[in-house]
Amino acid sequence: MTVVEDNEAKKSDYRKFKIHTSTNDDNASLQEMISRRLKHEEWPLPNLIVVDGGQAQLNTATKKLREFNLEIPIVGVVKDEHHRPREIIGDEKMRHEHERGILLANSEAHRFAVLYHRLLRRKPLKR
């Protein structure tokens, strides 16, 4: 999870979630992450949620927010075949007002996740 405020990365608020559900199911992983994030009542609620993916991920996030009785705008960053942002979908007002912050949050989330996965792979096996 990354946080962007005023188009600046707020790295002190970044958080790692080790996913316990099937790691081969993006939507199940997204549901778990959103649930775990929202259960932290000590963290302020976001003004916007950015998901990496298309309509399926947007629908998954929207459904999970409804379960928590929350209405937070959500956008998704759809990538092209070279894993570059192709378009932003979802809440139209937020897409236009916060495009730079959305793209920053998405690229930071990717960078942060890759670093975390590399760290996990380097850990020696417990015996």
CATH class for the domain made up of 4-122? alpha beta
User: CB of 46 within 8 A of CB of 72?
Assistant: yes
The DSSP output letter for 13 is: G
Residues 6 or more apart whose CB falls under 8 angstroms from that of 123 comprise none
pLDDT class of 23 with cuts at 50, 70, 90? low
DSSP per-residue string spanning 61-102 = HHHHHHHTT----EEEEEE-TTS-EEEEEE-HHHHHHSHHHH
Q: What is the pLDDT of residues 95-104, one digit of tens each?
A: 999 999 999 9
What's the pTM? 0.88
Lowest mean pLDDT among 10-14, 24-28, 85-89: 24-28
CA 127 to the chain's CA centroid: 34
Whole-number Å distance between alpha carbons of 61 and 74: 8
Return the pLDDT at 91.
93
Q: What is the pLDDT of residues 44-97, one digit of tens each?
A: 999 999 999 999 999 999 999 999 999 999 999 999 998 899 999 999 999 999
